Structure formats: structure tokens, C-alpha cells
């Protein structure tokens, strides 16, 4: 499949699903495909949508590409790229300490930035909670950051924030 040609052709759910199913069936093509997440903004945006389907159907296929996904999220060419990459990372615990620390740093910066779309901030909050178990100070900083913002935030942030605060409180981590 000529992914660039397909991505330039348009942006639809049908096309995103078609590409995702192709990548699930032919995982050897993922190495080429993830590079489009770092292409110009329009292609990066379109290339990110199939990640959602892959995240739901076959998340293990993305494991060899954690660094590439993180790099694409860091570039922030389009909010859709970061949103779909963060959506993937929110549900997994990273074994690679180097990538985990890079991701935690990026997630914390995005969660605390009021200019970042709410979905990205909520996914970032969950990434931090999921990947910070061995960093008690970071979990404390997460609790403090959520508590500081929760009342002034949108419903999605407040809902996830309350759930995470409850979990942290169960661990004895209370906002300062």
C-alpha cells in the first residue's frame, strides 16, 4: 500500500480503518508508516487516526515503535498526533526507563499547559499515573498539580482528576 498516496487522498473514518486493518494484517509495514507521524502537519494528522484502531485492536504491534511515537508526540505537528499517541501510552506501563522518563516529562508539561486540548491533558494525566509507581515524588507532584487545577478545569479533566486523586489517596499520597 502506498501510504503517502492514501493519506493524501483524504481523511475519513473509512480510510483510517482501512489503513489500520492493513497495518494489523501486515505489521512489517509499521516501521515505514510511523514515519508519517513526523511528516508535515496534514499527513501527520491523517496518519495518527489509524493509531486509535491499532491501540484498541492490537496495541502490542506498536511496542517496537515507542521511541518513534514519543518523538512524534514531542514534535507536536498537530494535536491529533499527540492525542492519539497519548491515548496509546495511557494504558501501558513502559519497561524502558529512558523512554518512560521522556514520556513522563512530556506528559507533565502537557498536563500543566492550559493551551493544550483537554483530551491530551487528560491522557497525559493518566500516563503519569500509570508510569510513576516507582517515583513517589512524581506521584506527589501529580496529586498537587491535579488538586491545584481541578476546580477550574473542564469536566473531563475534573472526572479523571478525581479518580486519580482517589487512587493516590489510597496509597497515602495527599495533595499538599
- Convert the pLDDT of each residue in 58-102 to its tens digit: 999 999 999 999 999 999 899 999 999 999 999 999 999 999 999
Confidence label for 176 from pLDDT (cuts 50, 70 and 90): confident
pLDDT surpassing 90 at residue 1 = no
pLDDT, residue 111, reads 97
**CA–CA gap between residue 36 and residue 171 (Å, rounded):** 41
Specify the pTM.
0.95
Q: Would you say how long the chain is, in residues?
A: 176
User: What angle do the packed helices 66-75 and 79-89 form, to 10 degrees?
Assistant: 140
Amino acid at each position: 500500500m502506498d501510504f503517502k498516496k492514501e493519506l493524501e487522498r483524504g481523511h475519513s473514518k473509512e480510510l483510517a480503518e482501512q489503513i489500520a486493518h492493513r497495518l494489523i494484517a501486515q505489521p512489517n509495514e509499521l516501521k515505514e508508516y510511523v514515519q508519517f507521524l513526523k511528516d508535515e502537519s496534514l499527513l501527520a494528522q491523517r496518519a495518527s487516526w489509524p493509531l486509535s484502531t491499532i491501540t484498541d485492536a492490537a496495541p502490542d504491534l506498536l511496542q517496537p515503535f515507542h521511541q518513534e511515537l514519543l518523538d512524534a508526540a514531542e514534535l507536536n505537528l498537530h494535536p491529533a498526533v499527540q492525542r492519539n499517541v497519548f491515548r496509546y501510552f495511557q494504558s501501558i506501563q513502559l519497561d524502558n526507563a529512558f523512554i518512560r522518563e521522556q514520556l513522563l516529562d512530556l506528559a507533565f508539561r502537557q498536563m500543566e499547559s492550559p493551551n493544550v486540548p483537554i483530551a491530551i491533558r487528560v491522557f497525559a494525566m493518566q500516563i503519569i499515573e500509570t508510569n510513576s509507581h516507582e517515583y513517589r515524588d512524581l506521584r506527589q507532584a501529580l496529586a498537587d498539580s491535579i488538586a491545584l487545577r481541578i476546580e477550574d478545569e473542564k469536566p473531563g479533566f475534573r472526572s479523571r482528576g478525581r479518580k486519580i486523586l482517589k487512587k493516590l489517596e489510597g496509597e497515602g499520597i495527599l495533595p499538599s
